[in-house]
Structure 1
Amino acid sequence: MNSRTISVCFVRAMLERFDVPHCSRDDLLSKAGISPNAVNEGKSRISPAQFSQLSRLAMRSSEDESCGHFPRKMKLGTFQIMAQYVAEAQDLRTAIERNIAFFSLFEIGHSLQCEIDGKFVRYQMRPDPEYPQSPWVFEQHLMLTHRFLSWLVGTPIPLLSVNCHYPPPAHRDEYHYLFFCPTRFDGSVSEFIFEQRALDLPIIKTPEELDSLIRQMPYNLLFMPTRQKSYTEQIRRYIKKSLPKNPSYEQIAASLGLTPQTLRRRLREEGCDYRQIRNELLRDTAIEFLQQTEHSVQEISYQLGFSEPSAFIRSFRNWTGVPPNHYRRQQESISPP
């Protein structure tokens, strides 16, 4: 079981401009197996399968792959055509050039460009002041573009940093799992930065592999296997495997063959810290138990290493805004998609 969860802040952002007469927002959520009440509660979370299903339903219902976020509709099938065009490139450099050229044919409310700055490459989104767009547009495009390009070359393209032109959003902590690198805000453009030498990486995916990717979109780009080598994911796996024991930070560093100081530095490079990783792993595992098992709150609290159920309940409320039993009832009130 993959215990990663997704904040409902992304659900609210995606549906912010969803306006389809024959399909209400609540109907759409229910079809995806998501409680409308949960979406209205700030800290609630959903599974990647639910989020992927919602994305597909929203696009089909609106007949718009941008879900209303672009000045004009993005017809269904646009991403597939773009992906096929980009995947025919010989290397990453040409793939990026094709990606930018493709989107320049459409009114998307921003412009794309790629700048080479010494040894670094900047893939940039420049906002159009005449068509303000929410952070959702920029964070999703940067994330999906980076992950799609990484998939094409068969290896993660390490990002040095991500810069955003807007102020820090309330969900800024979620950005760690979008990009696995430090993120800065209030810049002039939104961009991701990587080393120039990556531009020569060859495109290795076949048309058959691309067809498989497109059929599973967006789920397979939300959780790419290539990210499993990050220190964040290695720590998550180690903690989960150790439950209900609570390994020390020093034990985890030793298991990775690193000193505590070196591991701390590596995590900073990924834009995260150990405490955040541990809390998020416990939160996501608790949600997994509540959704997929009939274990009592007391049983779950002990399986997660809490000494008392009351301590678990306090932590869960802090993580999600509601107590565990309330969260479980929300999930049970919705029929599976």
Structure 2
Amino acid sequence: MPDSPAPAQSPGTSRSTSATIPPNILRCLTPVTDGYGVDLRPELSRVGLDEAMMRSAALRVSYRQGSAVIRRALELTGDAHLGLRVGAAQHLTSWGLLGFAQMAADTLREAIETGVRFQNLSGAMVVWSAGPEEVGYVLRAELPDPALDPAVAVFLVEEAFASVVTLTRLSSGEEFTPQSVEFAFPAPRDFGPFTELFRCPVRFDAVGNRLVFPTAWAARPMPGHDRVTYAAVVELLEEQAASRRDQQDLLEVLEISIAQSLPDVPSFVEQARRHASSERTLRRRLAECGTTYEAVVDGVRRERVEQLLRRPELTLRDIARQAGFSDVRALRRAVHRWHGVAPARLRGEAGVQ
């Protein structure tokens, strides 16, 4: 379709090890696992999240924290398609302020494109893009980390499409049915949960993850459309997005600085000097990001250790030294805190997650 507008594209997703993602998926995950008799609080605590923090509107989590909790939830519930349940359990306010902007949009297409535009504020752990194609209006979901645990990857894509369909039905009509849904992962043994939820042809082992909206539905007016409300909420979202970009830039600069300095770690005082900032100001800016300098250092060290463990020629002593640990015992304690296993066992697995 040569005359079609350009697809709505992702504004970019960072692989920062620090806290940058609203924990919306984890907040929706917890009540679903409660229904299985599974208490996720110990796992949340393991990655540094307690109940008080989870209730904070300012909380941000890292991609790694989110993946670790999801992986554990899959193990504890034994439900290979937990993502479908979590997506289907969401409501119109699950995406926060962004959800209200989408409800006030003129059409379903504008609601979708608003979601893509501000996806980094929604807590999404996939990368969204959308645009018209010959088959209809297509919403695509990609994974930002190709090395992601396959089970977590399936969860994220299932949750993404299930939540879109569920929220579309809640906002625009229960009768909504996608034209088709395609998943890049292999077909499951039981198609039932997919056909029951999506009510349309579902394809697996596809080239990519795509949900096709019928063209007529994409042009359908949103029941709550209101230009004044929409403009006001989008203005707030733009302010939040600008603030988030500043926070992301700070975290990435710090991570690069730490990674380049290993095995030595620049002191907090030194980092403040490098950023022409007072210690108090830098500490406040990190708090606004939902993290601390110690947590940023820990994330960078974890990334480095996981890279080094993939190199069989290195001893644990070599790895400890290159990652800036005082000795092998300190390395072992850190790996156990991150993964719950010893470095030797982690190294022997099929990949370090």
Question: Max radius of gyration: which structure?
Answer: 2
TM-score higher than 0.5: no
TM-score (norm 2): 0.41
TM-score (norm 1): 0.43
